[in-house]
Structure 1
Amino acid sequence: MDLDLSKFDFNVETLGECQVPSPLVGERLKFVSDDERIVAVSDSQELSRYQEELGYIPSMETAGPRAKVFQPQLLARAAIVTCGGLCPGLNSVIKGVVETLNQEYGIKDVFGIHYGYAGLADPKTYPPVMLDADKVDTLHMEGGSILGTSRGGQDVETMVQNLVNMRINMLFTIGGDGTLKGAAQIAKEIKRRGLEISVVGVPKTIDNDLQFVGSTFGFETAVYQSTPVITAAHVEARSVYNGLGIVKLMGRDSGFICANAALANPVVNFCLIPEDEWTLDGPNGLLKAVERRFRRKSHAIIAVAEGAGQSNFNGLGEERDASGNVLKHDIGTFLCDRFKSYFADLKIPVSLKYFDPSYSIRSVPASGTDQILCHRLAEYAVHAAMAGKTNMVIGYWNRSFVNVPIPVATYERHKIDINGSLWRSVLACTGQEKYFKGRSK
């Protein structure tokens, strides 16, 4: 890990001392204390270095149920919001939160907030809905979010006042970087007012680009769903002379989906991600590399992340979405146009097929292993909220679930290390370097 862990404060904020005995029962139930920690590094040399330089090893708070809770069972009222783009597993997390609150803690007042923070800011236009275990029983079988979602910055003071008006003391925010930063602002305003409302996040980012939370739900499903698309592109390409298949996958700033999809379906010949610099023109550019590939085999497959190659659009200006995220220029159609003109100028025939499965991938239900992750993240989020934890998100780190402060998780985007083992595996699998460097044999 390249990050200097000494500059992070891994201590989780709390609303106060837990004084209420937990309503959880069971002979095999194991409670977790706040003193239990998971080390933030696993490399033995790094462990020794931090111990020597700091006198301690950076660690995170272990997630799980506490023997005493902060929120009294009879007074507990929860609200759930889903924000940002769709992602496989959103409904599964909603189901997990509701079922844990209902069935484990006996809390019946659970409100679903429609259309993310927009609904929290304007509950009259978007009335909340009561949720219970029966209503969410088969929710995991559906894609999208039963609550709807939205982007954009809403007034924090208004949202906090609406939480007060609804007598909510636990807010669960399911979303990515922007959602969590919004949750941190809500938690800050709650703290300023001296209110006892927990704000706990469940990390939703299909790009897997949050720090210190491990793999996020929906990511594995996205990789799995990309396989038939890449396979279709490969079948189309190899069935004709000089067939070229271009598949654009999600990944605005991080290329994890694209890289893992290339490894999962090793018919990809070129994997293009935002983290890796590559040129289009010149003797070592992508155009020439595909030409070399055609000389060796008369077909090629390119998997490109949506945020890759943005340097090709310098001078075109910048646009942002309602949440302030920079909108990426369409690298997929750009590559299609350039390849067509390049091979036309060379009078080399090419049959190009373009695939953009982004929306079909993110709108499906979560796969089996993702379903498991969704429920467990939801369950640990409820344990944290009941214990009065706030301004935090649930993560999975070093094979353990942990409570991570939101400012730590959103410090900067989690990206592929192009000098690391994952990217080296991709390069070995695709063999793309030999084409870029002119070694086609």
Structure 2
Amino acid sequence: MAGEEGGADPPANPQAATAELEPPAKADKTPKKLPRVDSIPVVARADGMEFLEIKDLRKHLSPQAIGDKDLVRINIMNYESSESSGSHRDHGPQMAAALFDPAGSDSIELPDFALRSGPRRTIYHNPKDVTAAIVTCGGLCPGLNDVVQNIVYTLGTSRGNAKMPAIVEGLRLWGINPLYVIGGKGGNAAAHPIAKECAAQGVVCNVVGVPKSIDNDIQLIDRCFGFDTAVEEAQRSLISARVEARSSGGISVVKLMGRQSGFIAMNASMASVGPPSRLLEEARASLVAIRFDMGKLCDFVKAIMDRKDYCVICVAEGAGQDIMDSSGPKGTDASGNPILQARAAAPPPPPPRCCRTPWGDVFPLPDSDIGVFLRDIFRKRFPGVDVKYIDPSYMIRSIPTITTDRIYCKVLGQGAVHGAFAGYTDFTVGLVNTHYVFLPTTTIIQFARVVDPKGRQWNRLKTAINQPDM
């Protein structure tokens, strides 16, 4: 049988097999008609123009804008005394109830709150008609371009000796409004009289400040843009200086920026100390000089060299001015910054001013700065020791910004625009107690914030590197 040979058995009902093989019914190829749209939602404007309506949920939402009732508390802590705060003026927001200069100048009483920064529901400028200008004051600072990028138009740079009536007349002739001033204490100190002169001449121009200080020496502001970037790069220099000193059994003197304050030197030194396994070893070979006595400094360096055979010294550029010369202050430059010690270059040279060390050695003043001054003294004091001087000042201020600074700059630039479009003038935008606020310009230009040798920040550093009082 075929079934026994492996073949298929024939169907018992041939008629049923034929039915299963019939092709399916032909598909209907008639095109289907889509349902007709009888009407399209159209909205007519008051001027007769019509446009397609788009559904929205506005009736369920509220416009997201900041109002003048949004306030940020300036002083978030109540101290029993100035001693309990840990400092007197290196923590601006903490002592913001009254700005005061310990030297005895005028003080400004501050309220508890400041206006919150951000976009307002009502603006007072038509963006199409705005001709904005930006003035950048002072030197380079990481993040400067990021702030400028988030505003409008760049006018140029300024370096002191400004004639306010001429500036305001130029603003009027060019139709500049608003004017953004990006600068430190000197730049904002120029923005304030510009705003006053505009009011005196009847020129309508919103003058807006953006605080810029790589030294982080502006009062009330949590931190200035570019400071974190500068500290990040400066601590790399200190780490390299430590490797250099350790490899040769010598002394590395690193001078960091800080004309009136030493925040870069302090924070970079704190950051450059290694992990706990190396903390004690590195701390006993490090020293930070901001305000010091020359005799104590050299004695401490000698103790470190006797114990570790190498030493790293970090000094702020404004330190030791009283040691280098006792003839008094040298005045200020065109931007209001104090002139640091340097020998006069005009011929014929006067008799060189000298410095006498506690051991009777007499040194002529160097041609440059405190870093060279210390290098020469250490070479004299420690003969045979390799003393290297490292000055990364211009390197740390011209590098690309780190992520946190870049974001900070963009928010500052946008906040400056929001404040100007809200109609405000003679104010600056900044971060206070982690919130962005508008502050009257006068509150940040009274005096520079400096490191307090008795403050908590400085004592944290001394504890970390095992440094005695100088």
1:321-351 Cα deviation digits (max 9, x unpaired): 332422212110000011111123xxxx311
Contact 2:219 2:448 in 1 (8 A): yes
1:271-294 Cα deviation digits (max 9, x unpaired): 112xx4x2102xxx1111100111
The match for 2:232 is 224
The match for 1:154 is 162
1:152-188 Cα deviation digits (max 9, x unpaired): 2121111111111111110011111111111111101
The match for 2:349 is none
Partner-residue secondary structure (3-state), 2:429: strand
Partner-residue secondary structure (3-state), 1:390: coil
* 1:231-380 alignment, distance < 5 Å: 231-241=239-249, 243-266=250-273, 267=282, 269-273=286-290, 276=291, 278-281=292-295, 285-315=296-326, 318=330, 320-329=332-341, 330-344=369-383, 349-380=384-415
Q: Which has the higher helix share?
A: 1
Partner-residue secondary structure (3-state), 2:410: helix
Q: 2:137 aligns with which of 66, 79, 83?
A: 83
Aligned mates of 1:339, 1:316 — CA distance in 2: 24
Contact 1:212 1:404 in 2 (8 A): no
Partner-residue secondary structure (3-state), 1:35: coil
Partner-residue secondary structure (3-state), 1:229: helix
- Aligned-pair CA distance for 1:30: 2.4
Contact 1:244 1:353 in 2 (8 A): yes
Aligned mates of 1:42, 1:328 — CA distance in 2: 36
1:363-407 Cα deviation digits (max 9, x unpaired): 112111110110000010000011111111111011100001111
Contact 1:213 1:394 in 2 (8 A): no
Partner-residue secondary structure (3-state), 2:181: strand
Q: Which runs of 5+ in 1 are unaligned?
A: 1-25, 51-55, 99-110, 118-150, 437-441
Amino acid at match of 1:343: F
Q: 1:412 to 1:32 in 2, by over 3 A?
A: same
Q: In terms of Rg, which structure is larger?
A: 2
* 1:195-214 alignment, distance < 5 Å: 195-214=203-222
Aligned mates of 2:164, 2:150 — CA distance in 1: 27
- Aligned-pair CA distance for 1:45: 4.8
Contact 2:168 2:203 in 1 (8 A): no
- Aligned-pair CA distance for 1:195: 2.1
Deviates more, 1:248-257 or 1:308-317: 308-317
Partner-residue secondary structure (3-state), 1:97: coil
Partner-residue secondary structure (3-state), 2:396: helix
The match for 1:382 is 417
1:53-97 Cα deviation digits (max 9, x unpaired): xxx962111111111112233332211111111111111111111
The match for 1:6 is none
- Aligned-pair CA distance for 1:29: 5.9
The match for 1:31 is 65
Partner-residue secondary structure (3-state), 1:432: coil
1:107-162 Cα deviation digits (max 9, x unpaired): xxxx3112x23xxxxxxxxxxxxxxxxxxxxxxxxxxxxxxxxx121211111111
TM-score with structure 1 setting the length: 0.75
- Aligned-pair CA distance for 1:28: 8.3
* 1:392-411 alignment, distance < 5 Å: 392-411=427-446
Aligned mates of 1:394, 1:421 — CA distance in 2: 27
Q: Please provide the CA RMSD for this pair.
A: 2.1
1:112 aligns with 2:154: yes
Aligned mates of 2:135, 2:371 — CA distance in 1: 32
TM-score with structure 2 setting the length: 0.70
Aligned mates of 1:36, 1:393 — CA distance in 2: 17
Contact 1:66 1:383 in 2 (8 A): yes
1:3-48 Cα deviation digits (max 9, x unpaired): xxxxxxxxxxxxxxxxxxxxxxx9786211112211111114579x
Amino acid at match of 2:182: I
Amino acid at match of 2:240: A
Identity of aligned residues (%): 38
Amino acid at match of 1:396: L
Partner-residue secondary structure (3-state), 2:220: coil
